[in-house]
Structure 1
Amino acid sequence: MANREVLPFETEQVSLKSVLNKYSKYWPLFLASVVLCLGLAYFYLLYATPEYTIVSTIQIKDDKKDPNGSKGEAFNDLDIFQSTRSVHNEIQVFKAKSLMVRVLKELSMNTTYFIDGPIKEKEVYVNYLPIKVAVNQFNPLAYDNNLITIRLEDKNTFTLKDAQGVKAYKIGQQITKPYATFTVLANSLSAASEIKDIKIKFNNLDKLATAYNTKLEVAPVTKETNVLSITLTDAVPEKGRDIVNKLIEVYNKEAIEDKNIIATNTVQFIDARLKDLTAELSNVEKQVESYKKQKVVTDVVTEAQLSINNASDYNRELTDWGIQIDVLNSLENYLKSQKGRYELAPSNLNIKDPTLLDLISRFNSLQLERQRMLRTTQPDNPLVLNINEQLSNLQANMLENLKNIKSGLVITRNKLRSNLAQNASRIKQVPSMERDLLEINRQQGIKQALYQYLLQKREEAALSLAATVSISRIIDPPFAGDAPTKPKKPLILLLAFIVGMGLPFAFVVIKDSFNDRVQEFKDVELVTTAPLLGEISHNDTRETLVVTDKSRSLVAELFRHNRANLQLATLGQDNKVILVTSSMSGEGKTFFSLNLASSLALAGKKVAVVDFDLRKSGLTESLGIPNEKGISNYLNSEISAIDDIIVALQTVTGLYAVGSGPIPYNPAELMMLPKVGELIEELKDRFDHIVLDTSPVGQVADALSLSPYIDSTIYLMRYNYTLKDQVNIIEDIYKNNKLKNLMMVLNDAKKQKGYGGYGYGYTDEKNESWKIKPRNRAKA
């Protein structure tokens, strides 16, 4: 058995079945926890105040994006009244505490009304009560002693009960208390008359506003739109609807008030500016009048244009006159020259003087006459000479006339030049005059335009004061469902069930995490590789010897199962001496040794069970036989014959017992004597199997001294008893081969579907049928 392995029959690392088996034994705890949690959830739902969700959607109007929206028309071009409203900013405005305080004040929410219900007090909205309380003045004491009870006696009287006692009052009578001054009035809105006892609580509006703000949710419906969803939860849906309606109303009202403040300040500013502008405009107009008088001008632009036109005329006339003078000078020079004496004089020279034109015409006619005569006569002909004389006279007359005409043209030209110079001087003054007058006119125009502009805007601002257009539009009015949204019964019951299942689960997990005992085979398997021989179930009886020829109990069958596994594990090997040990006392070594030996004896073998625990004897005591003589006597040589310490057991044929004898003072030294080997050799000659019940190897080393004489070792562990740290002892012994052919047996498995993950059947005491389902077994 140097090499062995664990043969899996139904091996699974982790399975649902094993997990269920682990927790199924705690089913009463799970059941009690679930019932308790569901019961607590039921009572919570019974006493919890149901709350309803009120939902409304509104659209925020944008002045710039909505030209038809609610905006001030004054100063639109200057964007004074226009604003781009951010949806996120408006959300913060809606959730402002000051806004909620104003809402609660306008709704007179400084009182809350309760009536007695079948289980608890129930809040009732004031609209459904026959009375209402009008609070005139609060005292801070009202918040400490703020619960009063009103009992209606009839339509006109009632009794008030508070910390000061009970007193009768009349409807409409002012009541003065140390904590408040208030009046109980008949509620005309309510038709309820069957309600008699009403409890009233005075509210601190600041704290109440904070409470409502925590329950108020304002969020955009989508990112792309400026539509907001307003959600509020309240125990009274009618009150919640009124609060949401009033919240939207106050929101619009405050926005209009803000706009009206701006409009009022604008009107006051415009009035002040108009008063100043009137005086400034009058001064500018006087400056214009004075300047025009000083410069002798009415309209600078018109007169400047006239001067420019005159200058153009003067230049044109000067040009014309100059041309005429040049023409006359040319004609005069032509006439004075010898060449022009008997030549035709130029006539088409744009000369406007009729006398000169007549002389030129006569001169040219005589020239032509002369030229005609010279074709037939001589130059000295009297007729020709007569014509020459006439031409000389006409030439003289023409020169004289030219001189006179030229003299008149020169005078006219000089006068035109003088007029042109004066006109040019006037034109030079125009820019300066125009600039000066333009500056004055600019000031006048600015002030006049500003005066007209402000006058118009004053009227628009005055009109905006009368405008009450809201900045939001209600898309869906506040609506509350018929069923309460809080508390959510299915969710609370589900959570109660989950908690009811989770608490025992957590308890088991924590319990197991702090439990340092072996609970299941997995605790052993993770530490050691030693093979598992089998398991022994819990012995419900007080009998020590449970394996007999007639026993068919579960424990007996498991011992038979372990016997079969032992035979398979040592098949083909000598396995006469079997040592049984454990980590500590109390793990069932003696019980296992005796019943294993009995199961071997029932198989027709001659078996001796030997009590080698010299420190604490238990075998003979459990069998009810005396322990006066035993192994300690033999090792101390007090007894020489082995027959004196061997006792045959009458219960099972072939089963013998050897007691430990009196407890010696040196058990460890006795275990080292050679006589131990002699004793075992002699027993081997007489018996087919020898089962050695030894002391715990985890506490003393006595069992290790028997290692040379044994063939196999059975290491016993007990569920919920053996410490997990002690499994390391098994691994050390198995790994270092300190005890030959070590195999493990797990004792005291509780009755369930599988012990430590290794299942076994059960015995029907009536028909003695049984079924074993081994999990693992050792193999050679």
Structure 2
Amino acid sequence: MMQGNGVSGKAGGKNLLDLVSGYLKYWYLFVLGVIICIGLAYLYLRYKAVPQYQVNSTLLIKDKDNGEGASDLKSFGELGLIKPSRNIKDEIGILRSAGLMEKVIKNLDLQVSYYLPGKFDEVEVYKEDLPIQLNPADSAFNPGTTLGIRLKDNQSFELKEINEDESGKFSVYQYGETINKPYGTFTVERNTDVSTSKIEGMMLIRFQAVENLADFYTSKLVVEPVNETGSLLSISFLDHLPKRGKDIMNKLIEVYTEKSLDYRNELAMNTIDMIDERLALLTNELTSVEENVENYKQRNELTNVSSDAELYLKRASEANSQLAAYQTQIDVLNSLESYLQQNGDNAPLVPSSLSIEDPTLVNLISRLNELQLRKRSLLRTTPDDNPLVVEIDQQLTDLRTNALENLKNIKESLLIAQRNLRQDSRRYQSQVRKVPAAERQLLAINREQSTNQDLYLYLLQKREEEALSLAAPISNIRIVDAPRAGGIPVSPNKTSVYLGALIFGLFLPFSVVYAKERINDKIQSRADIEEYTNAPVLGEIAHNKEKEILVAKEEKNTPVAELFRLIRFNLKFVSAGRKNKIILITSGSQGEGKTFFSINLGSSLAISGKKVVVLSFDLRAPKLMKDVGLSDKFGITNYLIDDELEVKDIITPSPEIEGLYFIGSGAIPPNPGELMLSEKIESLLKELEQNFDYVLIDSAPIGKVADAFALAPFADSTIYVVRQNYTKKAELKTVEDIFENNKVNRPMVVLNGTKSKEAYSYGYGYGQKANVKAKNPAGA
């Protein structure tokens, strides 16, 4: 594959420069598209576009999840048993709800829209800027109704219902008069603050469905949190009437706040009712529990379980101590009894120091011990039968009998007291044993009583809190930034519109050119050739705007002539020292300019000092001699069928270019295909090769007949001519087949009929480059 000096092969498709240059050819379409689209954008912004103004506001909504702050005290808004949720996402949904917007629309009477006649279209005006105000008497006004009003004077006006065909008659009414119509009842009031001097023509009043308006306005409402963690909400609303937009946002916040307070109040009222019902039940339960406590204490002889238990334990302990004391006294009495029962001279003295507190017994024992001592004293000096001793014995017997009787009485009283005390002790022990069960049962009763009492007090407190929240209707919503409308429209964005128009103005012709290029199956540029075939491109020839065929003359410097000089140089460069005298020139079909190319290539070679002959081998449709203005009476056909005719007899010199010769085809034969197989063709070409520097064969189209293939073995190289915007891209498959299968010697492609500026600029630049590379440019 040969490349360089204007001869190039397949490059794998178009590069970016080729694509750009291909579209730049249609620069005027891009300019026209931009101008038209920019103009349309200007007209749209000037007469059609409705400027939209943005209304902004900021709300602070206390979120129940955000904590209580530094203080533990609760505000009035936080009092109550049940507190409403304040989740930010839920509040956003409420603000953007259709029901809330419907209430705003009804409060502001936005279902009634007013329009004034404009230059190109009707203009909507907010009702406060109008000289009249329509007040529907009820909400049953028929949506979709359109009324036309013409102002007459300060007392009256004309009104009619506008149908689809705008028919109907005007009727005169007075301001403030009640108007009854099938579609609704209403009055029209005069707004004296607005002048009627600038209002001309018929005003339009339209009644729209509240539901549709709510959906429309809600779609233009944007509510979003200012940050992810806070409770600030940013609210924005778009409207082409900034005053109306501001009123809508103010009313929306007002209605939202009212709804929030109504919900809280309703919740508080329901809570109070529920608490009252519960308090009534708790009162009955508390009374019942208190009666149970009273009855239980009475049954169990309890006042206070803990103190009673201590008292029983104390009494039981005291009883045990007293029992022990009684038993000690009884034991002492038993001991005394044993002493008193001993009788005789050796009877021991009765102890008197024991803990006997009875004075009679103590006195008897003391007297008994004295007489006993007195008797012992007498017996030491007196015998037993002494009357004194006998008397003392008698006294001792009486005293001992009295003491024993007294001791027996004391002992019986102690035993009786001991039995009674033992019964009391058992009773105290029984009471002590019953204390845990009584305490447990009483604790359960007290627990129920305490629970009900705490709940009763809690509900009383919450009821007071709910009552306070009703008395102090404080909202959890605070307006941080009041609704404010911007003074500059945010939509439509002029910069965006003009930029879009510019892009569309470029895209539209781009699409047209792209579609044209895709639909067009003709060769448009050198890149198309390089995309479809690997055969080298010898060069390009500009479109010939002149009437004459021979344009490659020495004195001419036209783009066509210069490009033929470049082709001449490329031929020499492609040869690279190899033989290249016989050149076959063909094409895919008629009309692609192979004859024109053959004539002017021969002229360009002849001007450089070469001797050139051009043969008209298109025996089926010869044009060569006619194009150069020479006779075609004798030619190749005559030479091939007449053995006496010599080569020199059919050669005709060019009357204009020295060194340039032509051989016509002669008479059109009936069998050109068989004639092309004649052996004389080889002798003709060999003789011409010996006598000329270049032999150019203008053959028949190779894509239609096989004549050119018959000449191919004799040619040193082959030039395949294609024509811009004429030759189909599919025909290049033939060229590729020839090149890949070596059906001809050194095939090359020439693009004919290109635009002169492109071809000349390219060719001229390439020619300069080639001259630098060539070692011997004399041939050029």
Conserved? CA contact 1:300–1:430, under 8 Å: no
Deviation digits for residues 236-288 of structure 1 (CA, Å, limit 9, x no counterpart): 11111111111122112112222222233333344445555666666667777
Choose the corresponding residue for 2:79, options 73, 82, 101.
73
Separation in structure 1 between the aligned mates of residue 344 and residue 503 of structure 2, nearest angstrom: 144
Q: More displaced, 240-249 or 317-326? A: 317-326
Structure 1 stretch 708-717 or stretch 396-405: which is displaced more?
A: 396-405
- Matched with 1:22 is 22
1:366–1:391 contact (8 Å) kept in structure 2? yes
Instruction: Indicate conservation of the 8 Å contact 1:148/1:160, yes or no.
Output: yes
Q: Is this contact kept in 1: 2:282–2:452, CA < 8 A?
A: yes
Q: Is the 8 A contact 1:697 1:704 kept in 2?
A: yes
CA-CA distance at 1:478 after TM superposition: 1.1
Structure 2 gaps of 5+ residues are 163-167
Write out per-residue CA displacement over residues 498-525 of structure 1, whole angstroms, 9 at most, x where no aligned residue. Answer: 1111111222222222222222222222
Identity percentage of aligned residues? 42
Q: Distance in 1 between matches of 2:381 and 2:234?
A: 133
In the alignment, which of 167, 180, 183 is matched to residue 179 of structure 1?
Answer: 183
Query: How many residue pairs are counted as aligned between the two chains?
Result: 755
Partner in structure 1 of residue 733 of structure 2: 728
Contact 1:633 1:639 (8 Å CA) reproduced: no
CA distance in 2, matches of 1:545, 1:657: 13
Pick from 580, 589, 592: which aligns with 1:587?
A: 592
> What is aligned with 1:646?
651
Q: 1:139 to 1:403 in 2, by over 3 A?
A: closer
Amino acid at match of 1:31: V
TM-score by length of 1: 0.85
The equivalent residue for 1:255 is: 260
CA distance in 2, matches of 1:450, 1:364: 81
Greater CA deviation, 226-235 or 190-199?
190-199
- Which residue number corresponds to residue 765 of structure 1? none
Superposed counterparts of 1:402-441, under 5 Å: 402-422=407-427
Partner letter of residue 409 of structure 2?
Answer: N
Alignment map for 1:465-504 (pairs within 5 Å): 465-504=470-509
Q: Quick one: structure 1 residues 328 and 125, their matched pair in 2 at CA, closer, same or farther if it must change by over 3 Å?
A: farther
Deviation at 1:563, TM superposition (A): 1.0
Residues 748 and 450 of structure 1: is their aligned pair in 2 closer, same or farther, counting only changes over 3 Å? same
- Paired with 1:365 and 1:224, the residues of 2 have a C-alpha distance of 111
| C-alpha spacing 1:560/1:323, structure 2 compared with 1 (3 Å) | same
Q: Secondary structure of the residue that 1:759 maps to in structure 2?
A: helix
Q: CA deviation at 1:731?
A: 2.7
Partner residue of 1:31? Answer: 31
1:578/1:710 contact within 8 Å kept: yes
Aligned-partner Cα distance in 1 for 2:26–2:322: 134
Partner in structure 1 of residue 43 of structure 2: 43
Spell out, residue by residue over 1:206-237, the C-alpha distance to the aligned partner (whole angstroms, 9 max, x if none): 10000011111111111111221111100111
Q: Tell me whether 1:560 sits opposite 2:565 in the alignment.
A: yes
Cα-Cα RMSD: 4.1
> CA deviation digits over 1:18-55, x for unaligned, max 9?
44422222111001100111111111111211011111
For 2:108 and 2:369, the matched residues in 1 are separated by 122
Is contact 2:339-2:349 (8 Å) kept? no
Measured against aligned partners, the alpha-carbon deviations of 1:141-167 in whole angstroms (never above 9, x if no partner) come to 540x3242342511x333324433222
Where do residues 396-407 of structure 1 align in structure 2 (5 Å cutoff)? 401-407=406-412
After superposition, the C-alpha distances for 1:631-679 in whole angstroms (9 at most, x for unaligned) are: 2222233872333422222011121111122322322211111111122
Q: 1:119 to 1:343 in 2, by over 3 A?
A: farther
Alignment of 1:28-427 (within 5 A): 28-46=28-46, 47-63=48-64, 65-66=67-68, 68=74, 71=77, 73-75=79-81, 81-117=82-118, 120-137=121-138, 141-143=142-144, 145-151=145-151, 153-154=153-154, 156-163=155-162, 164-187=168-191, 190=193, 194=197, 196=199, 198-274=203-279, 295=299, 299=303, 301=305, 307=312, 309-330=314-335, 332-333=337-338, 350-356=355-361, 380=380, 401-422=406-427
Name the counterpart of 1:538.
543
CA 1:676–1:740 in structure 2 vs 1: closer, same or farther (change >3 Å)?
same
Displacement of 1:308 in angstroms is 5.2
User: Which residue identity lines up with residue 614 of structure 2 in the other structure?
Assistant: V
The 1:18/1:329 distance shift into structure 2, 3 A limit, reads same
Q: Which moved more, 1:272-281 or 1:683-692?
A: 272-281
Instruction: Tell me which amino acid in the other structure corresponds to 1:134.
Output: N
- Distance change >3 Å, CA 626–CA 424, structure 1 → 2: same
Distance 2:531 2:339 in 1: 150
Deviations 1:426-473 (A, max 9, x none): 667777877887777777666666656555544443443344222311
Relative distance call for 1:298 and 1:405 in structure 2 (3 A) is closer
Q: Does the residue aligned with 1:542 lie in a helix, a strand or coil? A: coil
* Residue type of the alignment partner of 2:762: G
Q: 1:477 Cα shift?
A: 1.2
CA contact (8 A) 2:2 2:536 kept: yes
Q: Which amino acid in the other structure matches residue 417 of structure 2? A: T
User: 1:123 and 1:219 mapped to 2: Cα distance?
Assistant: 29
Q: Is this contact kept in 1: 2:542–2:752, CA < 8 A?
A: yes
| Change over 3 Å in CA distance of 1:60–1:540 after alignment to 2 | same
Q: How many Å separate the matches in 2 of 1:97 and 1:578?
A: 86
Contact 1:91/1:218 (<8 A) preserved: yes
Kept in 2: contact 1:135–1:182 (CA 8 A)? yes
In 1, distance between residues paired with 2:57 and 2:403?
Answer: 114
Which stretch shows the higher mean deviation, 378-387 or 302-311? Answer: 378-387
Matched, 1:461 2:466: yes
Partner residue of 1:760 out of 760, 763, 768: 763
CA distance in 2, matches of 1:388, 1:556: 196
Contact 1:546 1:595 in 2 (8 A): yes
Shift of 1:312: 4.0
Q: CA contact under 8 A between 1:351 and 1:357: conserved in structure 2?
A: yes
Shift of 1:492: 0.7
Distance change >3 Å, CA 534–CA 279, structure 1 → 2: closer
Equivalent pair of 1:532/1:778 in contact (CA under 8 Å):
no
State the shift of 1:424 in Å. 5.5
Contact 1:716/1:747 (8 A) holds in 2 = yes
Gap change, CA 1:654 and 1:466, over 3 Å in 2: same
Q: CA deviation at 1:614?
A: 1.3
Q: Deviations over 1:528-568 (max 9, x none)?
A: 33333222112121221101222221111111121122122
Range with bigger deviation, 634-643 or 231-240: 634-643
State the alpha-carbon separation in 2 of the partners of residues 775 and 4 from structure 1.
17
Distance 2:627 2:297 in 1: 147
8 A Cα contact 2:640 2:680, kept in partner: yes
Contact 2:566/2:767, CA 8 A, preserved across alignment = no
- Deviation digits for residues 670-715 of structure 1, max 9, x if unmatched? 1111111122122223322210001121222211111221122122
